[in-house]
Amino acid sequence: MRINPVLNQLSTYPTVALDKKKAAVRARGIELFDFGTGDPIEPTPAFITEAIHNAIPLISQYPTVAGSLELRESIAGYCQRRFGCALDPATQILPTSGSKEVCFHLPLVVIDRQASDRTVIFPDPGYPPYQRGTLFAGGTPYPQVLTGDYKQRIWELPKELLAQTRLVWINSPHNPSGAVLNREDLRRTWETCREHDILLASDECYMDVYDLEPPPSILEVATEGVIAVHSLSKRSGMTGYRSGFVAGDPEWIQVFRSFRVNPGVVPQDTINAGATVAWQDDEHPERRRETLRAKKELFRSFFEEVGLKTAASEATFYFWIRTPDGVDEHTYADHLMEAGIVVSPGTYFGLDGAGEGFVRIAMVPELANCARAIEVWRGVHQQAPWKA
């Protein structure tokens, strides 16, 4: 069968690889504690689901690209409260179906296939759609390898590379490591992009998932040449509803808006009604953060007890964990999986070996199940099957 060769170039998507292994273990009757995917297993707040329910129309019609002004005003209010940033709801904000589709679609808007400067820079390890969207758009991926503190410093990249670059992705707080760029890092990133006339796309879908300081947004630095990407998935436990927004430079928002009449991914009015009330409320993300703090405390003391070390892991609901000495990330993840603990090998998020020697956990199961999982995990370390 002749197909788009880009499809053959792609490795198995991380969640697909994990799902296969999970099914095999589940079939043997082992209870699974699933820390594999960043998909919160906690209810969506009732006031949001009620707003969605009440918005189901009698006559269903196509949604508009821009969504309602009420929604865009609600988003502008959120940006003002959270980032102190005044955005024009008419020109600087667009609702989206979550943030993944933006990560995938944005290169299609930016890349000129006929031009020689087609590079897209993104963090590695990182969220797979940055690379995948680039390939489908005919761009040239440049995975910027992160280690140590996992902070992406684009100003350290060669000038020749930046001269060939049209789009830079940053992701703070970062999946999979939880690293956070501070305001000064963001300012240097923005200045570097401006110097080379590069669109700066800042994936901020974990912006409200933190236990200590609220991470800063690129919107606190500037909007010129910037698209910030936000989502209700993790903030409000709404992964299944597909709801987010882009905000920033009015010219780029206009270009993105004109693109969006094409792919059929405009969010539904019904979901937008839920999003309108979700962005108006700061209380429910704080409730979720309280639970996150309790989970992080449990895991931190367990890691200390068994001698597991983490890197970065500042914000998000992820811990980025170094595997025990002498055990690679696949072996370690497989031993945990055998016991029912699902974690992701770090290399699932990396190209060419980035993420080696690490596993990621997503603290998405309920607190009580995190505590039960830790008992099982402790048992694995007591047996240390990798030493056999």
Ligand X SMILES: Cc1ncc(COP(=O)(O)O)c(C=O)c1O
Residues near ligand X (CB under 6 A) are: 38, 98-100, 103, 127, 171, 175, 203, 205, 231, 233, 239, 244
**Minimum distance of ligand X from residue 216's CB (angstroms):** 17
- Which C-beta is closer to ligand X: that of 49 or that of 164? 49
- Which C-beta is closer to ligand X: that of 205 or that of 253? 205
- Which C-beta is closer to ligand X: that of 120 or that of 205? 205
**Minimum distance of ligand X from residue 114's CB (angstroms):** 29
**Minimum distance of ligand X from residue 13's CB (angstroms):** 12
**Minimum distance of ligand X from residue 387's CB (angstroms):** 33
**Minimum distance of ligand X from residue 253's CB (angstroms):** 18
For the beta carbon of residue 62, count every other beta carbon within 10 angstroms. Answer: 9
Beta strand 318-322 pairing with 358-362: antiparallel
Phi and psi at 154, nearest 5°, equal -70, -20
- Which C-beta is closer to ligand X: that of 22 or that of 100? 100
- Residues 276/54, Cβ–Cβ less than 8 Å: no
**Minimum distance of ligand X from residue 98's CB (angstroms):** 3
- Which C-beta is closer to ligand X: that of 174 or that of 289? 174
- Which C-beta is closer to ligand X: that of 74 or that of 171? 171
Beta strand 341-342 pairing with 140-145: unpaired
- Which C-beta is closer to ligand X: that of 169 or that of 332? 169
- Which C-beta is closer to ligand X: that of 89 or that of 244? 244
**Minimum distance of ligand X from residue 195's CB (angstroms):** 26
- The CA distances from residue 209 to 108, 157, 178, 237, 290, in Å, are 29, 29, 10, 11, 10
**Minimum distance of ligand X from residue 102's CB (angstroms):** 8
**Minimum distance of ligand X from residue 204's CB (angstroms):** 9
- The CA distances from residue 303 to 245, 316, 320, 322, in Å, are 36, 18, 11, 10
- Which C-beta is closer to ligand X: that of 205 or that of 218? 205
Between CA 242 and CA 265 the distance in angstroms is 10
- Which C-beta is closer to ligand X: that of 83 or that of 318? 318
**Minimum distance of ligand X from residue 380's CB (angstroms):** 26
**Which residue, chain included where needed, has tokens 């010219």?**
251
